[in-house]
Structure formats: structure tokens, C-alpha cells
Amino acid sequence: MSYIIDRRLNSKDKSAVNRQRFLKRYKKHIKQAVTDAVSKRSITDMERGENIGIPQKDIDEPAFGHSKGGVRERVLPGNKEFLSGDKIKRPDGGAGGGAGKGSASGSGEGLDDFVFQITQDEFLEFMFEDLELPNLVRRQLASTDTFKRVKAGISDQGTPNQLNIVRSMRSAYARRIALGAKKRRRRKEILAELEGREDSRESAVVALQEELVVLERKLANIPFIDDFDLKYNIHKKLPQPSSKAVMFCLMDVSGSMDQRTKDIAKRFFILLYLFLQRNYEQTEVVFIRHHSTAKEVEEEEFFYSRETGGTVVSSALKLMSGIIEDRYPVSEWNIYGAQASDGDNWTNDSPICYDLLANDLLPLLQYYCYIEISDRGHQELWQYYEKLAEVQADAFALRSLEDYADIYPVFRELFQRQSNGQLMSSGS
């Protein structure tokens, strides 16, 4: 006797818990892999998961066993030319005969990595963790917050405020037709038969009349509207990005900026990008690098090329202003600026920067933030920017940071403003 059961509709992801436990256990490895991946990826490329590799030896579960050595006897199939008594030269790699996988050379891991995929959500999660983002912000970053309600069909269940009257009445009507059809047909027949014989006292006629009365009563008893006629509208929330945004990444690439400083800056830019992308339908990024002169470049060049020479910050601000004028009319674009630097600037240039920002740029921008990645004391540029922050607190922020974990506080200012301000008007 066999029972055949269709289990295909059973829940998915029976292994999800175990998978999570595995990820938790190897968090350190995964975080490292994510960190590496972040530096390899473009900042606009955060929408996919990642392959994570962990050295096999780190995840092996230990068990008693034999290692090579001693006397081993093995039976193998497919003998061709061997005769008993033959002596075969040992293959390179020492003992082990056919089994000789060995434990690899001294030069490193001989075994392959254990490689697996994490999803985009997990990827972001691990990256955010590095940045010590609070959970709420993580959620805001990883999901879209503005929604539009759209109709998504009709349902039998719902609350009274969702009642669809037309559909409910239509279905009640259909039910009434269906339930009464037979009786009405019969009534019609009876009426036809009784035509002209109303007064007759024949027993057949009397019976028909009685039946007619019963039918009328039954027909009258069919409820006009019933519980299961009710139809409700269902609505679905669709994510609704607002509109278009452009993000200007400005970075000092003079000799004093080392790769680590740039990596920190890169993470900051990534956060900003993710944030904008969740909130706007279309997000563009413009990279401007500068030393003594500024230039618009591709991302690759932005993060990974080095220049020598002095530093004139105002050159980048001028270029930004020019680009806005040419390509990003304020009426269409929400403009954000983010500047990263180690604080160096040409003497006498800082007042120019102040003027440029205060008069030309900030009126056009949603927000401008400056991060100084340095462990030395602040210089002139910082002092001028500080003044600017006092007068233009709602559109300008500056922070100094030394490490990855410092990035978030800067970012929070942006969020605070946004959650009070216009952007996230829908609230969540």
C-alpha cells in the first residue's frame, strides 16, 4: 500500500534557520569578503549579492581519522598491465598511492575555498554593520519608504470601508438570477397554463394556483443581498520614488590622500548613493576630482588614480557649479553634494570656497556635506566651513572622521533633516 503526497506546496526555505546560523558563525570571514568586495565594486553597483569564499580548513568539522603514512592496502578497478609482484614508483607527493590528495604544499592553502552566495540584502547588512548604522536607518536604506496605493483587484474579504458597491450589487444580482431561475421558469409556465382559466374551480387549476403562491413566496425569500455577495477593493502599496536626483562626489586626489582615506570616502559616497537611490526615481552621480585643478572623471579614475600637486578646492566647486548650470536644471533635479578631503587647501583659497558655496551653490542644493578624513588638527578650510555651517545649518554639514565607524554620525545629520523635511513627507 502506498500513499502519494504532493508536498510541492509546502513552505520554502526549510534551511533558512541553519543558513542564518552558518552566516552568523562565519561573520568575520564574510565581513572581510564584503569589505573587499566594496572596494572592488562601483558605488552604483550595490544591487546584487556576492560570492563569499571561506578557506575550507576554517569550516571543516573535526573528526578522528587517519592521516597518511603506515601501511595501506587498496583495491582498485581497471587493471591493465600490472602483475602481482610489480613495484610501482611512488607518484610525486609521497605516500598515499591513488589516494594521494596530500595536504598541499607549504606555499599556502592547497584546498579550495568554500564558496557560497549571499543575497543583496545580506550584503548590505554586512556592509552597514561595519558602518555601525542603527537598525532603523538600515531599514530605510534597504527599502523604499514612499508608497503609492494602487488598486490590485477585488477580494471576498475586506473591511467595510473597502466595499465595492457596484461589484457587490452585480454579484448579488447574479446570485438572485441563479437562485430564482428555476422558480421563475416554473412560474411562467404556470401563468401560461392559467391564462384565461383563473376562475375555474378545477382541482388542477387550484393546485397550480397554490403552487404559484408557494413559488411567489420562495422567490420573495431570496435575499436581495447576502454576505457572500460583498466584494471589496484591495489596494497594494507600490514603492514610489519621488523624482530625479544628482549626486556630486568631490574628492581631493592630491598626493596627501592615501588609499585608505579614499576607501573611507568611498563608503561615505556609497551610503549617500544608496540613500538617494531609495528616495528618487533616477539618481545620477557626477565624480569630480581635484588637486590644483578640477576635472570630471569616471568612477574608476576617481577612486584609484593619484596625482601630485597642490590643492585648490575652489576649482572643484567652480566646476560643479558649471556642470549644474549646463546639465542639471534646479527645477528638475534634486542636487546633493558630498566632498571628501584630508583638509589641505591652498592658502587664501578657503575664503573663495566659502563665497562660492554660500552664494552660488547652496541656494541650488538640497544638501551639501563635507567630510574631513584626518587625524591631524583642522586647517583653514575647516574653519571657513564651520562658519558656513552656522549660517546654513539646514543645507550644510561637516564632520571630521578617522575611521569607518565615524561615517554614520555624519550621515545621520542628513537623515535627521530629511525626516523633518520635505523629502520623506509620507512618513513611515
- Positions in the binding site for another protein (CB under 8 A): 1-8, 10, 12-15, 17-25, 59-80, 82-90, 94-98, 103, 114-117
DSSP-derived secondary structure for 249-265: EEEE-STT--HHHHHHH
Beta strands at 333-341 and 50-55: parallel, antiparallel or unpaired: unpaired
Instruction: State the nearest-atom distance from the C-beta of 123 to another protein, in Å.
Output: 15
Instruction: State the nearest-atom distance from the C-beta of 86 to another protein, in Å.
Output: 4
Instruction: State the nearest-atom distance from the C-beta of 178 to another protein, in Å.
Output: 33
Instruction: State the nearest-atom distance from the C-beta of 98 to another protein, in Å.
Output: 6
Cβ closest to another protein, residue 112 vs residue 195: 112
What are 408's three cell numbers?
554614520
Q: Where are the beta strands (DSSP E) in 122-164?
A: 147-155
Cβ closest to another protein, residue 76 vs residue 165: 76
Cβ closest to another protein, residue 73 vs residue 195: 73
Give the three-state DSSP class for 239: strand
Residue 228 carries which DSSP code? G
Residues paired with 283 in a beta bridge: 245
Cβ closest to another protein, residue 21 vs residue 170: 21
Cβ closest to another protein, residue 49 vs residue 180: 49
Instruction: State the nearest-atom distance from the C-beta of 54 to another protein, in Å.
Output: 9
Q: Rounded to whole angstroms, what are the CA distances from 60 to 63, 90, 367? A: 9, 29, 50
Contact criterion met (CB below 8 Å) for 144 and 79: no
Instruction: State the nearest-atom distance from the C-beta of 57 to another protein, in Å.
Output: 10
Instruction: State the nearest-atom distance from the C-beta of 93 to another protein, in Å.
Output: 12
CB proximity list for 103: less than 8 A, separation 6 or greater = 67, 68, 110
What are 422's three cell numbers?
520635505
Q: Which amino acid is at 179?
A: L
Cβ closest to another protein, residue 14 vs residue 217: 14
Place of cell 561573520: 27
Instruction: State the nearest-atom distance from the C-beta of 22 to another protein, in Å.
Output: 3
Q: Compute the distance between CA of residue 401 and CA of residue 261 in angstroms, rounded to an integer.
A: 10
Q: Compute the distance between CA of residue 381 and CA of residue 367 in angstroms, rounded to an integer.
A: 18
Residue 413 carries which DSSP code? H
Cβ closest to another protein, residue 21 vs residue 376: 21
Instruction: State the nearest-atom distance from the C-beta of 108 to another protein, in Å.
Output: 16
Cβ closest to another protein, residue 97 vs residue 134: 97
Instruction: State the nearest-atom distance from the C-beta of 24 to another protein, in Å.
Output: 7
Q: Compute the distance between CA of residue 19 and CA of residue 47 in angstroms, rounded to an integer.
A: 21
Cα Rg of the chain (Å, integer):
37
Place of cell 394556483: 209
Cβ closest to another protein, residue 20 vs residue 428: 20
Q: Which amino acid is at 185?
A: R
Residue 133: which of 381, 408, 417 has the closest Cα? 408
Residue 306: which of 349, 254, 270, 376 has the closest Cα? 254
Cβ closest to another protein, residue 6 vs residue 326: 6
